Amino acid sequence: MDGICARKESRNLQRRKLRIAHLLSGREGGGITTVVSSLIEYADPDSLEASILLLSPNRKLAKRSEGFKCHVIRKRFPGSPIAVFRIIAYCLQSHIDILHTHSIASNFYGRTAALFMTRTTVVTTVHARTYDELQGPFRNRALAWCIHKIDLWMHRLSARIIAVSDFLRRELIANGVPEGKIFAVQHGIHPSTVDVTVEEVEAVRRNLNVAPQKKIVGIVGRLTRVKNHELFIRACKEVAAKHPELVVLIVGEGSLRNHLEALTEDLSISRMTIFTGWVEEIYPILHLLDVLVISSLSEGFGYILLEGMACKRAIVATAISEIPRILKDRKTGLLVPPDDIDALANAIDYLLRNPRKRNEMGELARKEVTTRFGIEREVERTLEVYFHALGIC
DSSP states along 111-124: HHHHTT-SS-EEEE
Burial zone of 308 (CB within 10 Å; 0-12 exposed, 13-18 middle, 19+ buried): buried
One digit per residue, the tens of pLDDT, for the chain of length 393 reads: 444 344 445 545 555 789 999 999 988 777 888 899 899 999 998 989 999 999 988 766 666 656 678 899 878 777 789 999 999 999 999 999 999 999 999 999 999 999 999 999 999 999 988 877 776 555 567 777 888 889 999 999 999 999 999 999 999 999 999 999 999 999 999 999 999 999 999 999 999 999 999 999 999 999 999 999 999 999 999 999 999 999 999 999 998 999 999 999 999 999 999 999 989 899 999 999 999 999 999 998 989 999 999 999 999 999 999 999 999 999 999 999 999 999 999 999 999 999 999 999 999 999 999 999 999 999 999 999 999 999 986
pLDDT of residue 63: 62
Backbone angles phi, psi at 329, to 5 degrees: -55, 130
CA distance linking residue 47 with residue 322, whole number of Å: 31
The CA-to-CA distance between both ends of the chain, in Å, stands at 20
Query: Which pLDDT score is estimated for 135?
Result: 65
Q: How many CB atoms lie within 10 A of CB 89?
A: 12
Could you tell me the CA-to-CA distances from 139 to 204, 226, 263 in Å, in that order? Answer: 35, 12, 20
For the chain, give every domain's residue range.
Answer: 2-188+375-390, 191-372
| Side-chain half-sphere exposure of 240, counting CA atoms within 13 A | 18
The pLDDT value given to residue 78: 79
pLDDT at 66: 62
Amino acid, single-letter form, for residue 206: R
- Contact of 87 with 99, CB cutoff 8 Å: yes
φ, ψ at 228 (rounded to 5°): 55, 50
**2-188+375-390 CATH choice from 3.30.70.260, 3.40.920.10, 3.30.450.20, 3.40.50.2000:** 3.40.50.2000
Task: Find all residues with CB under 8 Å of 207, minimum gap 6, and list them.
Answer: none
Can you give the pLDDT at residue 60?
A: 62
Q: Would strands 273-277 and 215-220 be described as parallel, antiparallel, or unpaired?
A: unpaired
CATH topology of domain 191-372: Rossmann fold (3.40.50)
Amino acid at 171: E
Can 2-188+375-390 and 191-372 be said to share one CATH topology? yes
Output the pLDDT for position 8: 44
Closest CA to 344 of 246, 243, 236: 236
CA distance 127 to 222: 14
pLDDT of residue 5: 44
What pLDDT score was predicted for residue 4?
38
Sheet with 182-184, strands from edge to edge, namely 69-72, 48-54, 18-24, 98-101, 121-126, 160-163, 182-184
Q: What is the pLDDT of residue 68?
A: 75
